[in-house]
């Protein structure tokens, strides 16, 4: 919403979940002329898309198993115009203290969510923080370089959440 409100950009908005796409369509109804919704797996879509100035991923990359993260970052770079920018908002743990940050977050859920909801999100958080999915700061930064981004930098961090900007 802030991006659409403050700029005149056109956005292609992708999620694999039909429910998420429906919610987004309702939320962004006022911007229908500048938004295109795509309900598809990100890797499958990027295999045939192309030529974006900016690619933006919000709390989605962490859902991909480690090998697929590398494939996805490669595909994102291929879909960027030269000089294009990839902006990542996601859980990228610092190199130490991961367990404490996870427990701190989960304690917060227990404080303000009904217990069944808290348990569901905590189960999801624990899976996201497992070796199969967790991003530790050095790994994504090394992977950006490996797949050919010219630069990658974490601009801001609050606990385990970051804003990372990579340039092609
Ligand atoms: C934590 S939610 C974030 C949703 C939204 N981007 C936001 O910031 O509010 C993670 C999203 O990733 C989507 N997702 C998971 N695997 C995906 C895939 N393979 N391709 C595209 N989207 C995927 C899920 O459907 C879910 O909506």
Pick the residue whose CA is nearest to atom 23 on ligand 1. Answer: 16
Residue of 60, 75, 90, 128 best suited for mutating to test ligand 1, as the one with most atoms within 8 Å of CB? 60
pTM of the predicted structure, to 2 decimals: 0.93
Cβ-proximal residues to 60 (8 Å cutoff; 6+ apart), any chain:
15, 42, 90
In tens, the pLDDT along 108-136 reads: 999 999 999 999 999 999 999 999 999 99
Does residue 13 line the site of ligand 1, with CB under 6 A? no
DSSP string for residues in 114-149: -HHHHHHHHHHHHHHTSTTTPPBTHHHHHHHHHTT-
Specify the pLDDT at position 138.
87
Q: Tell me if residue 24 falls in helix, strand or coil.
A: helix
pLDDT for 57 beyond 90 = yes
Q: What percent of the chain has pLDDT over 70?
A: 100
């Amino acid at each position: 919403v802030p991006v659409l409100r403050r700029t005149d950009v056109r956005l292609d908005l992708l999620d694999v979940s039909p429910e998420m796409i429906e919610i987004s369509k309702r939320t962004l109804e006022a911007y229908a002329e500048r938004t295109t919704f795509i309900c598809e797996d990100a890797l499958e879509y990027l295999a045939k898309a192309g030529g974006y100035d900016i690619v933006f991923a919000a709390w989605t990359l962490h859902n991909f198993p480690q090998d697929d993260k590398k494939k996805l970052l490669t595909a994102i770079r291929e879909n960027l115009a030269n000089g294009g920018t990839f902006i990542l908002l996601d859980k990228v743990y610092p190199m130490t203290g991961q367990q404490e940050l996870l427990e701190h977050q989960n304690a917060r859920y227990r404080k303000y969510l009904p217990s069944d909801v808290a348990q569901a999100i905590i189960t999801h958080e624990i899976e996201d923080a497992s070796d199969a999915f967790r991003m530790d700061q050095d790994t994504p930064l090394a992977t950006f370089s490996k797949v050919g981004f010219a630069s990658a930098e974490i601009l801001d961090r609050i606990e385990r959440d970051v804003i990372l900007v990579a340039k092609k």
